[in-house]
């Protein structure tokens, strides 16, 4: 079997959180194009359902939508159970849901801090554990977490201490689970995207004024696209990455190199 055939995800089942749009939608599309059945998990059920229908029509795979608040343990546990029931198993997941609140540290409210940490870190923990428990009991699997280049640098000019801290936590959580589960068949890795031009980012009144500054600092002179994250996620979800665990992949156009 050649490498192209080995890269396929035929017969595999997985879910992506925060998949109604943006990075999550793009990686869910890539998983389905590679042959997997996928659950689109998002708090916005209507948009998740639209995405599920769109991807099912484009790829011919079974794609379902599940509304889930990833900070609610019961909802997360129920979501994993529904994925297993509707798709017939769980081989991989991409835990991608997250938010960012830009506020100077001395002005950030404790409620704002908690919201970012709860979604970006606690939510990843809950989905990792729920998926990991199933995988540990059923022969293994692959977990992919979305961290950020913000775990490695302090972004400027926008102030975002809660986001940076939460994403650094995601990487350490990833490494910790990878060590705990290494001999039990469950691989855990993270991706750390740089600035990515999603529909939300490109149309945000607060972020659009910053894009010119980011691009001026970027070695490639531009933001990345969601599609440029697809191949690494397909690799991590599949069987050619069986020696890859506990790794963080920085996909940032060399932004963190200086």
Strands 141-146, 63-67: pairing is unpaired
Distance CA 60, CA 32 (A): 8
- Would you call 167 a catalytic residue per the annotation? yes
> How crowded is residue 174: how many other Cβ atoms within 10 Å of its Cβ?
25
- Would you call 148 a catalytic residue per the annotation? yes
- Would you call 134 a catalytic residue per the annotation? no
Neighbouring residues of 63: CB distance < 8 A, sequence distance ≥ 6: 28, 32, 37, 38, 39, 40, 51, 52, 53, 55, 56
Spell out the alpha helix ranges (H) of the chain.
3-7, 22-33, 45-59, 73-87, 110-117, 123-137, 161-181, 199-202, 208-217, 230-237
Catalytic entry in 13, 25, 163, 192: 163
Distance CA 241, CA 232 (A): 10
Residue 149: name the closest of 139, 140, 160 by CA.
Answer: 160
Q: Before 157, cis peptide (omega within 30)?
A: yes
Catalytic entry in 148, 150, 190, 192: 148
- Tokens linked to 220: 């490639």
Q: How far apart are the first and last CA of the chain?
A: 41
Rounded-to-5 percentages of helix, strand, coil across the chain: 50, 15, 35
Catalytic entry in 25, 134, 167, 235: 167
Return the CA Rg of the chain: 17
Active site amino acids: 148, 163, 167
């Amino acid at each position: 079997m050649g490498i192209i055939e080995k890269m396929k995800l035929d017969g595999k089942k997985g879910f992506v959180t925060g998949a109604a749009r943006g990075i999550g939608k793009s990686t869910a599309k890539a998983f389905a194009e590679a042959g997997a059945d996928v659950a689109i998990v998002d708090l916005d059920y209507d948009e998740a359902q639209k995405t599920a229908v769109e991807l099912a029509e484009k790829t011919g795979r079974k794609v379902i939508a599940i509304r889930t608040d990833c900070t609610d343990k019961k909802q997360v546990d129920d979501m994993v159970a529904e994925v297993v029931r509707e798709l017939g198993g769980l081989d991989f997941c991409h835990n991608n849901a997250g938010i960012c609140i830009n506020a100077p540290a001395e002005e950030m409210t404790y409620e704002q801090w908690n919201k970012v940490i709860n979604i970006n870190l606690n939510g990843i923990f809950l989905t990792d554990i729920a998926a990991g428990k199933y995988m540990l009991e059923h022969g293994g699997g692959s977990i992919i977490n979305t961290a950020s280049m913000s775990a490695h640098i302090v972004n400027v000019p926008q102030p975002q201490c809660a986001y940076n801290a939460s994403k650094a936590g995601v990487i350490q959580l990833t490494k910790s689970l990878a060590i705990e589960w290494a001999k039990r068949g469950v691989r855990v890795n993270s991706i750390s995207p740089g600035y990515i031009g999603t529909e939300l980012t490109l149309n945000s009144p607060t972020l659009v004024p910053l894009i010119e500054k980011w691009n001026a600092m970027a070695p490639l002179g531009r933001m990345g696209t969601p599609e440029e994250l697809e191949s690494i996620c397909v690799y991590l979800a599949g069987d050619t990455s069986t020696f890859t665990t506990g790794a963080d992949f920085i996909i940032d156009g060399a932004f963190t190199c200086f």
